[in-house]
Amino acid sequence: MISIRGLTKRYGTNTVLNAIDLDISAGERVAIIGPSGTGKSTLLRCLNYLDRPDGGVIRIGDLTVDAATARPADILALRRRTAFVFQNYSLFANKTARENITEALITVQRKPRADANARADAILREIGLVDKASAYPAALSGGQQQRIGIGRAMALDASLMLFDEPTSSLDPEWVGEVLDLMRQLASRRQTMLIVTHEMQFAREIADRVIFMDGGRIVEQGPPAQIFDAPQDRRTESFLRRVR
């Protein structure tokens, strides 16, 4: 169970996140949609303190992190319960595909190298990249890099997986394979919070869709309700524009 209360982020006088309240239950798949610059990515980045929020409380299981009092140890604990998939993949450029997956298992989770390697190989099989195990990121296609990015996140066994527009940097030809992999994860009831512009995908895999605008959650509900019968005028006009 994840609960977010009053999450706020400002840049100067500009309030990017305005007191966001959000609960996510274990196994829930939540998609966030909305116009650019409305705080969707900032929300995700504040959830693991890549951007430090100015206020608000995040609870994941028995861990509570309050922006007013969060210390480095709290932030580390929070990051170790979440996994993040970046829009630009952000694979470790000095590590092979396999090392990208094992790195945190060895340095953060202190797993023996053999166990970490076994886990990485299992994940590489699952994401269909066994043959790229010893390739460096620079030698991989965008789609392959993002699948490794997701594999790296999977290995962490995080309570919550955060996806920040995972297909937005991809050439159209690679989008499908990344979405397929995310479908697999969703079918396993991995708790996921996904910022996406892929409306069809959101409708298909999400239990709940959140529409954000102006740093606030405007409307949320099951996909059918949000996409077919939006209650708010802003949701309706956004959906009309993206269709």
Partner 1 sequence: MRALDLDYMLGLVPVILGYVPLTIGMALAAMVGALILASLMAVERVVRVPVLDLFVQLFISFFRGTPLLVQLFLFYYGLPQILPVLAGINGVTAAIIGLTLHFSAYMAESIRAAILGVDRSQWEAAQAVGMTQTQSMRRIILPQAARVAAPTLVNYFIDMIKSTSLAFTLGVTEMMGATQKEAAGSFLYFEAFLVVAVLYWAIVEMLSFLQKRLERRLNKALTR
Residue numbers of the site for partner 1 (CB under 8 A)?
Answer: 48, 50, 76, 79-80, 82-84, 86, 88, 90-95, 103-104, 107-108, 136-139, 152, 156
Q: Residue 193: what residue type?
A: L
Q: Which is nearer to partner 1, 103 or 177 (CB)?
A: 103
CA dist., res. 150 & res. 146, Å (int):
6
The distance of closest approach from Cβ of residue 189 to partner 1 in the complex, given in angstroms and rounded to an integer, is: 22
Q: Which is nearer to partner 1, 76 or 242 (CB)?
A: 76
Q: Which is nearer to partner 1, 153 or 202 (CB)?
A: 153
The distance of closest approach from Cβ of residue 124 to partner 1 in the complex, given in angstroms and rounded to an integer, is: 17
The distance of closest approach from Cβ of residue 154 to partner 1 in the complex, given in angstroms and rounded to an integer, is: 12
Q: Which is nearer to partner 1, 114 or 138 (CB)?
A: 138
The distance of closest approach from Cβ of residue 241 to partner 1 in the complex, given in angstroms and rounded to an integer, is: 30
